[in-house]
Amino acid sequence: MPAIMSHVSRRKSILLAVAAAVLIIGIVGLNIYRTRQQVPVEVTTGTAKMETMGATILTSGSIELVEKQEVYAPSDRLVREVPVRVGDQVQKGQILVALEADSESLSLLEAQARLAEQEVIYQKYFNPTAVDLKIAEAEFKQAQLKYQSSLRNAESHEKLYAAGAVSLQELETARSQLAADEAAYLKAEKEWNQVKNGLEGAERRSQEAAYHRAQEAVKLAEQNLAQFVVPARIDGQVMAVEVNPGDVTKAGQHLVTIGDPRRLEVKVGIGEYDAARVKKGQEVLIEAAAFPDRQFKGQVVEVSQKAFVNRNTQTQQVEIPVRIAVDSEQEGLLPGFTVDVKIITVPEKERLVVPYEAVVEKDGQKYVYVVDKGQAKQVPVQIGLEGDLSIEITRGLQKGDTVILNPPDDLQDGQAVKITSGQVQEG
């Protein structure tokens, strides 16, 4: 019996040992087999999808009149007349405001009178009429005859004096008269020649200068007067009137503003990093706080070729001025409104996009890893527009492709991947 028990125990031990060996071999074998297999890399994914995308630059500015005239008081003056009111349409030359300007008015009249005088003289010498010629000739002949008469008279008095028929005083009177008539004759001859042939040399230059000087004097007098009796320099609408007749202005005080309310513009400053993207002719969308539900349209009309430092900000930003014309068809905006401006540098359209995190770059080439049957497939792509959160893919992907976000640096083409659940992001 003990022998049988011993045999059974030995057999049991052997069976146990075999079972343990099989277990151990199986465990070791399975582990080694599994280590030869790739451990799928856990990745988060997104989807390539179509999205309306464009590129814009946001900035702000204020509405201004394209063309305007602002009238300021040149000095302390009494306001005589304000013939316009806000909203009136005015034409060029129409008086906007008249301040007290008696001395300036008188100065203008004097200057005009002198100009008129010079014009007569100028015309006589530079563009004489037939009448001028006849008058000059007549005056010459008259002077000539008078001189000849005086000459004969003087000769006669010489003979009579020699004969003792006249006194010395009479002779000298005749001589004196002869001299005066001779001078007049010469003068008339010269005048006649000048009218007939025109002025020459220094006299010509002097007369021309006098004429021009008279013209300039009139202009100056007009300008002086215009400070006080202000005409409109443009056709437009009266936008603001800040004085009334009888008011006394102070020097520099704003009086009247006119402009064309249909021609508005916005002046904005864009950063130097955006400057290359803004071009003349680009569409602009304008929003004003006064019209929260409306969008106005405009167009870039000028991009400055020089940058300026904006010292209004604490950081002194470099800005490039841009002028934007507001479409004249749109009503509602008023000068002075602060507006938000969106410059459309690239028009919106449907584009294939993926999240930014999907695109990687290696050796100058952009790639995206697409999940294909549980494996990462490296796909070279071409990128286009870059948005805030996504980037356009112009070549390499199709709509619906599952792309890996933030792929590990050592992710290989063809490597097994496992999508982490609950973290899929849309493009």
Binding residues vs another protein (CB under 8 A): 5-6, 9-10, 12-13, 16, 20, 23-24, 27-28, 30-32, 34-35, 37-40, 42, 406, 408-410, 418
Closer CB to another protein, 16 or 186, in the complex: 16
- Min dist. Cβ of residue 30 to another protein (A): 4
Task: Give the residue with the Cβ less far from another protein, 9 or 316.
Answer: 9
CB nearer another protein, residue 41 or residue 240: 41
Residue number with CB closer to another protein (31 or 313): 31
Least Å from the CB of residue 367 to another protein = 16
Nearest 10 degrees: Cα torsion 345, 350, 353, 356: 30
Q: How many CB atoms lie within 10 A of CB 212?
A: 12
Contacts of 259 (CB under 8 A, 6+ apart): 65, 66, 67, 68, 69, 234, 236, 237, 239, 335
Give 359: exposed, middle or buried? Use CB within 10 Å, 0-12, 13-18, 19+.
buried
Min dist. Cβ of residue 9 to another protein (A): 5
Q: How far apart are CA 293 and CA 40, in angstroms?
A: 52
Token output for 65: 């009149």
Nearest CB to another protein, comparing residues 307 and 411 = 411
User: At what angle are helices 102-126 and 201-228 packed, to 10 degrees?
Assistant: 150
CB of 26 to another protein, least distance (A): 9
State the CB neighbour count (10 A cutoff) for residue 127.
9
The least distance separating another protein from the CB of residue 359, rounded to whole angstroms, comes to 15
- Identify the CA nearest to 251 among candidates 76, 86, 39: 76
Among candidate residues 251, 260, 233, the one with its CA nearest the CA of residue 64 = 260
User: Which CB, 27 or 138, lies closer to another protein?
Assistant: 27
DSSP string, 287-300: EETTEEEEEEEEEE
120: nearest Cα among 216, 210, 218: 210
In the complex with another protein, the residue whose CB is nearer, 2 or 281, is: 2
Q: Which is nearer to another protein, 197 or 420 (CB)?
A: 420
Q: How far is CA 148 from CA 154, 185, 292, 372, in A?
A: 10, 9, 97, 127
* Helix H or strand E encompassing 146: helix 130-162
**Least distance to another protein from the beta carbon of 423, Å?**
12
Q: Are 47 and 403 in contact (CB under 8 A)?
A: yes
Tell me the residue ranges of DSSP E strands in 373-411: 375-380, 382-386, 390-395, 402-405
State in angstroms the smallest separation of the CB of 16 from another protein: 6
Q: How far is the CB of 360 from another protein (least distance, A)?
A: 11
Nearer to another protein, 6 or 123 (CB): 6
Q: How far is the CB of 37 from another protein (least distance, A)?
A: 5
Q: How far is the CB of 408 from another protein (least distance, A)?
A: 6
State the sign of the Cα–Cα–Cα–Cα dihedral 414, 415, 421, 423.
Answer: negative
Residue 27 or 248 having the CB closest to another protein: 27
